[in-house]
Structures are given as structure tokens and as C-alpha cells.
Amino acid sequence: MMGVVLFEGWAKNGDEASRLLEKGEIKFEPNHHHQAVGPMAGTISASMPVWIVENRSFGNRAFCRQVEGRQQFGDYSDSALDGLRSWRDVWAPSLRQGIQQMGGLLLKPIIAKALQMGDELHNRPIAASSLFANALAAPMIEAGVAKDDLLITLKYITNHELLFLGLSMAAGKASADPAAGIEYSTMVVAMARNGTEFGIRVSGLGEEWFTAPSPKVNGLYLPGYSDQDAGFDMGDSAITETVGWGGFVLAGATGILSFVGGSPEEAMAYSREMRQITVSTSPNYRMPIMGFQGSPVGIDIRKVVQTGITPIIDTAIAHKNPGYPIIG
């Protein structure tokens, strides 16, 4: 939050930003209430560029801010804010020109391919990020992006392994929203955490959030950090699990285990377990390691209650205090 206040120019330094926040002079609203999602702290402000994903079957749109890996975790240093400024001033305008030159970009083929290339589209969207960068390179040139901006943007997107996370989150939100408001449906259409509470929305139960205390994350820590430094679980990125990606397809993304912990056998077991609490499997998104079975999709709260199995979410870990980047 402090990083956003500084980025927008509402305060000159961290102390001033903290005072503004403590006085309640900055208004906050959930991203989900605006057809949007954001990673980790999830902050979206007026000057931030967002990805726009359209669900052409239902006509709705969803939005997600950029994934830059610093400010979203609480880092409000000058270098972290410079990343936001680069997104605003260089990277987003260049990518926008390329996407407009293409007339838009279909995400479903990228997602389907990436899931068969070892991605789970939450903490490991490496293949999807590469496919996206490949798809945008030529259109940015054709669109006439200024040479200096083009070079800077190409260097950035071809080395940004989490680039596609913002797109997968927006795609998940755009897919889940039309499933809301179906009478008697017990399917979960949103999961979100804010570091204090974990909330879900259920299709047949309107816009109400059903909440419980946000848990600590059981994961691996970067050198110099431990569970004593960790905050509670947070972020809108669980929208990926809501639509059957992330932890639900860990069986096909065992490369991520060195980051989130666990064994290949456990990853396979998680994906099998998720089939027990979901409505169906996807005909479009398949896992080669499991005989090309579709990813489990559509969490059913009745099945969760009946089996005692809770959705598995693989996530990063933020520090409990402001001023730090990712810690695990």
C-alpha cells in the first residue's frame, strides 16, 4: 500500500505514506468488486496499466495489474517503484501497440500449450511467458514501436518468467465470473486472501464473501528468512486454482517443487485429490503426465465438506512487515 501511495505521488516518503494510510485518507476496495484481480498485495491504482482479458463467449472482461515481483510483495524502495514506472512509461505502451497491431491475442492456445510444457500458470508460468513474448515480438516491430523502447521491452519480456501470471489471473477471472449467480449452484467462483482473511464466493449464494482467518503458508524460504518473518496468506492469485490451474495441475509442473516444496509423488496425489472435490475436468487443458486427463475444474463446496479435502494452492510468501520483496 505504501508503494502505491508513493508511486501515485500522494506522499513524498515512507513516513508520510504511512501516516496517510493510518489516518484512513486512502480508500480501498476489493479488486474482485471491479472485475479485477491482483497478485500478492494486489494493489491497483489509477496510474497502473492493467491487462484486459475478454471472454468472447459471454462478453465480459477482467483485469489484472502487472506482475513485477517487488512492490506487490511490499517493497517500496526507489528501485521497486522504478519498476512500476517502467511498466507505466515503456513496457505497457510498447506491448499495447503490439497487441493492437495483432487485433488482440488468443490466450487459450497459449494456456493449453503451456500446461503441456511444465507450467501450472500460478507460480510457474515460464512456458506461457515465453510463448507470449514470442507472439508479441514481431507485432511490436510492425507497429513501429520506437527502437529504444522496443529493445528495452524485448529484453524485459524475454527474461521475465512470471510475465504471464497477470494474464493467467485475468483469464481465470474472466472465465469464472460468468459462472456466478446460477441458482442452487454450489461451485466456487472466487477465492481471495488479504493477509487477514481468506474468502470465497459461491455461485448460487450471490456476492457474499464467506471468510475464515487467513492461514500461514507452508512453504520454502529464501536464504535469510524463516516462518517467523512470514505474513499470512494473501493475494487474488488463487483465481488460478479456482479455474483448475495452479495447485490443481501440480502433477504436470513438478519443476516448481524446488520453489514451493514437495515431491513429484505428492504433486501427483494433489492433482488426483482435486478431482474428488471438483465438478468436472477441462476438455481444453490437459496433463500429459496423467494420460492427458483434463485439469480438475469447478470446486464444489458440497464435495469439500463431504470429503474433508480442501483446495490446494501453491503460492509465494510475503514478509509480515512492509519494505521487503518476496521471501519464499
Per-residue model confidence as pLDDT tens digits over 26-60: 899 999 999 999 999 889 999 999 999 999 999 99
For the chain, what is the mean pLDDT?
94
Cell numbers given for 114: 503451456
Burial environment of residue 207 by CB neighbours within 10 A (0 to 12, 13 to 18, 19 or more): exposed
- Nearest residue to 300 (alpha-carbon basis) of 169, 174, 200, 194: 200
Per-residue model confidence as pLDDT tens digits over 73-85: 888 899 999 999 9
Provide mean pLDDT across the span 116-139. 97
Per-residue model confidence as pLDDT tens digits over 224-257: 998 899 989 999 999 999 999 999 999 999 888 8
CATH dotted code for 179-307: 3.90.1700.10
> What per-residue confidence (pLDDT) applies to 305?
98
> What per-residue confidence (pLDDT) applies to 176?
98
Examine the pLDDT at 258 and tell me if it is beyond 80: no
Distance CA 294, CA 277 (A): 14
> What per-residue confidence (pLDDT) applies to 219?
84
- Sequence-distant (6+) residues with CB within 8 A of 166 are 39, 51, 64, 65, 66, 67
Distance CA 295, CA 284 (A): 8
Q: What is the pTM of this model?
A: 0.94
Mark residue 258 as left, alpha or beta (left: phi above 0; alpha: psi -120 to 50; beta: remaining).
Answer: alpha
Distance CA 304, CA 242 (A): 13
Name residue 287's beta-bridge partners.
Answer: 293
Q: Is residue 157 within 8 Å of 42, Cβ to Cβ?
A: no
Per-residue model confidence as pLDDT tens digits over 100-125: 999 999 999 999 999 999 999 999 99
Examine the pLDDT at 90 and tell me if it is beyond 90: yes
Examine the pLDDT at 69 and tell me if it is beyond 90: no
Q: Is residue 170 within 8 Å of 35, Cβ to Cβ?
A: no
| Per-residue pLDDT band at 2 (split at 50, 70, 90) | confident
> What per-residue confidence (pLDDT) applies to 321?
87
Question: Which one is predicted more confidently, 166 or 71?
Answer: 166
Identify the weakest region by mean pLDDT among 3-7, 56-60, 102-106, 131-135: 3-7
Examine the pLDDT at 325 and tell me if it is beyond 90: no
Distance CA 80, CA 260 (A): 24
> What per-residue confidence (pLDDT) applies to 246?
96
Angle subtended at Cα 154 by Cα 152 and Cα 158, rounded to the nearest 5 degrees: 125
Location of each CATH 3.90.1700.10 domain in the chain: 179-307
Examine the pLDDT at 159 and tell me if it is beyond 90: yes
Q: Is residue 249 within 8 Å of 293, Cβ to Cβ?
A: no
